[in-house]
Structure formats: C-alpha cells, structure tokens
Structure 1
C-alpha cells in the first residue's frame, strides 16, 4: 500500500509541477515589451532592420489564468512532492538525509513555502519561473532515493528527448548570444556617435533587444526539459562523479542565468545592456557544458 500511495503522489506532483511551470513561463514570457514580429527578425538578418507593427499578444484571459492558477498548482505539487519523499524513504528503508537529492528536495520545498506566503505581499509572482522548474527537477532527482547502485535503463525516446532538448536549446541560445553581442557593438557605436553610414547593416537596438528576448523565450522551455531529464539521469551525482558534478553545476548555472534574464525583464524591466551581458554569461556556461562533453575522453573525467 505505501508503494502505491508513493507512486500516486509522485505522479501527481510531477503533473502539478509541470502545469505550474508552464503557466509561470507563459505569464513571464508575455513581456511588457512586445516580442519581435516576423518583420523585425527579417530586419535583424537583412538590410535596413526596420521595425514593423507589433504582432498579436497572448490574450488577457490566458494571462489572468496563468497568474491565478499557477501558485495553486505549485502548492499542490509541493504537497505531493513532500508525500512522495517521506513515503519513498520508508519504502526503501533508507535514511534520506544521506541523499544529496533529498536535501535538494527539502530546500526546494522550503523555497516553495516561502514563495507562496510572500508572493502577494512582496509582489514576486514572477519568481515562480524559477521555483516551479526547480521543484520539478528535484522531485525527479529523488526517484533514485535508496537505489543508487542499479544502472537505470532509459528508453531511446527518453535519451532522444534529453539530447534534442539540449541541442535545440543551445542553438537558440547561440542566436540569442549573437543578437546580444550585436546589441553591445551597436550600442558602443552609437555612444561614440559614429556616422550611420559607417555602421553597416546592423539593426536598431530595440530590434536586437527584442530578438534576444524572443530567442531566450523559445530556448528556455527546451533547456528546462534538458535540466529536468538530466536531473533524472544524474543519479551518479550521489557517488561524487567528477564529470557529473561539473556538468550539473554548469548546466544549472546556465538555466539560472537565463531564467534570471527573463525574470528580471518581466519583473524589473531589465532590457538592453544588462540583458545582453546576462545572455552572454549564460551562453558561456552552456559552452562549458559542451567543453566537458568534448574533453571527457581525453581527460578521463568520467573515471
């Protein structure tokens, strides 16, 4: 019976966390500034870079639904998460405090509790963009609680989803990083008051800034999927594998930096240079993850 309840609580927490994370993302992605239209992106890579009329925004009804139901779903997910961790410890007959993932789960549950209490008073609803996916990732990490030794068998579909999510996410971040670099170059030229004819075909700053936001918004859900599946996969983190630890650190750093750029744009109006620097920093962390993959055979990091 405890095994059945444990499995049900795990499934419900997974469902609620996923739904809450999606709603928080939809709420934050509808930035106060419109996303680039097709004409803007054509201007980004073509001559002229002229700004076109705004595209259609998500409906106000959808935004209201996200703001209203996301915290409730997050709280239900945390309840299922706490139930699962408690029952899984008894079923596996292990001391959960010896597990890295258990400690991370407790930290995420505490963060969710503080967030749900403080969000209305301090108007920090947008912070759910960080809290929801973290709860989801650490929930999946506890799946290996009490069973660190058997090598898990993953389906080809799971492996393909993990790899493709990371590859597509990094591809979009490369575009965001390129747009951010162009933004910094264009801004420097404008500050130096160079003549327009000497600026080549670089698009306006506003177009570049919105392009950065578009590419980050498109890549963030993919990176989140990669982080979630990677956490589910990284059971060897419990054994202190050097490669896994380094990859996890840079992977979470990438996700956190990109999430902060999106969050601060929605909550604090961050745009322009600050968003560009944050995007480039996130791209650098993603590059570190790729370097670890490439140098692993030569350096013997996998042990």
Structure 2
C-alpha cells in the first residue's frame, strides 16, 4: 500500500524552495554589484600585496601571482563587503534549499528526486555547494553572480513549468537503484555546472590575454586564466568518477528492470556521449599539447551535452526514461 503524502510538509518544502530562489536572486544582485564596482578595490589589494612581498625581500609579483592572494587577506572596500554579504545570503539560501529537499522527501516518504522538478532542485543545490567550495579555495567570489544566474534560471523553470505536486513515484522507480543511480547523476551534474562556467570565463580571459582589445571591458575583471583552468579541472576530476559510477549503475538497473544492460535509449546514448566528451577533456588536460583553450572548448561541449540531456532528452524525445524525467 502506498504511503500517503504529508501535505503540510509538502507545502513547507515548496515555501522553502521559493524562499531559497528569492534569496539567490538577492545574492545574485549583490555579486553583480561587486563585479561591477569591485575591480578598483581588487587592483588596490593586488598592489598592497605586491608591496608587502617586495618589502619582505621577494621580487615584485605580476598580476597573475597577486590574483592568487586569499580574499580574506585583501583590504576590504565597500564592494568587497557587499560581496561577503552575498556569500552570507548564498549560504542562507543553500540552507533553505536543502530544507526544501529534505521536507519533500519526508512528505513523500521516498528519495526526493523522482521527477524533473525534484531533480532540478537537487542538481542546483549541488551546484551551489560546489561553488561555495570554489569560493573558499580560490579568489573567484566576484564571479558568483555569473554562476548563480543559471542556477536561478533552472530553479525558476523547475518551480514553474516543471513543478510537480508531491506524490509517490511510479512503480518502475520504486527501487533501491533510485537512491544509487540517480543520486550519482545528481551530484555529478551539479558539480559539472561549475567547470562549465569556469571554462567559458577561461576562454574570455585567454582571448583577452592574447589580444587586449578583445573583451577589454569585461576580461580584466576575471581571475587569471590559469586559475580558471584549475577550478574547471579540479571540479571535473571530482565529478567524472561519480558520473562514471552513475552510468554503470544505470546499466545494472536497466538489466534488472528491462533485461538488458544497454539499449541505446536516447538518455543512455546522450549520457554516453557526455562521458566520452569529459573523458576526452581529462585526457587533453593531462596532455601538455592540449591544455588551455582546446581543453576548455571540450569541457564546454561536455557541459552543453549535459544540458541537452537534462532538457531536450527528458522533455522532447520519447524513450524508456520519459516517464521519469530523471536518471
């Protein structure tokens, strides 16, 4: 007998989701203000750090080196304070975001990723957590607005066009593989959003470094190309094994449910294409001759395939995964 849905918890989940989205929008505004008005303060911080290093007997560092200075050691201007407020809002939004996921699961008595709405809710949460990690490890906080933009768009689409009333999943998804396979897909997909955005910025910054007239008004505000490359690479290194595990678990689940490990279903095929692209990226990134621009292009291609898999394959094509919209 199917468990009844707890409508109260379901409503709390919806309210948490909506509030988290609103807070992300506010944080997005704060980060864009920092991006727009914080360039001067960052240059002051870089010069101050350079003077400290020279005073200690070190050679004068270039912009690439001073860009690696931890942000908590840099002089704080008004724009930086606004950026830190944005981070606080981002953390608050993430707490409400995870509350929405947990409450959805408690309301339905199952894992809270049984449809497209829930899947997008979980993927965007992982993307936010991954970006918070990147902000902690690298001085990229002023880029948070550009990272939050696709998150906010996805959450708006998920909460409107793709919203689904809390309910038990269809019988085909009532399996422990829903925990394993789909959770691996969620975590890897959320992490892949970060290197996708970082690789786009890498192309912009590297194009400006080669020709200062290209993207002259925007590119100087970006971190060094080498740093953006490291962010993209490290995030991809974490996400790729999880994605591989998810694909393999999907094949095992397919054999259990449909009697075959692989059937070239549209979603299976697209997931395999994405796996090949990201494998090519890691290979090219580890090969000296393919570092830089060409590796970034491959990473962006992989991100594009993941987005195509999320929307077009789930919502437009017909296949064995159409009833679920996930996994």
TM-score range, shorter chain: 0.3 to 0.5
Q: Structure 2 length normalisation: TM-score?
A: 0.42
- Provide TM-score, normalisation by structure 1: 0.45
Return the structure number with greater helix share: 1
- The structure with higher relative contact order (CA 8 Å, sep 6+) is 1
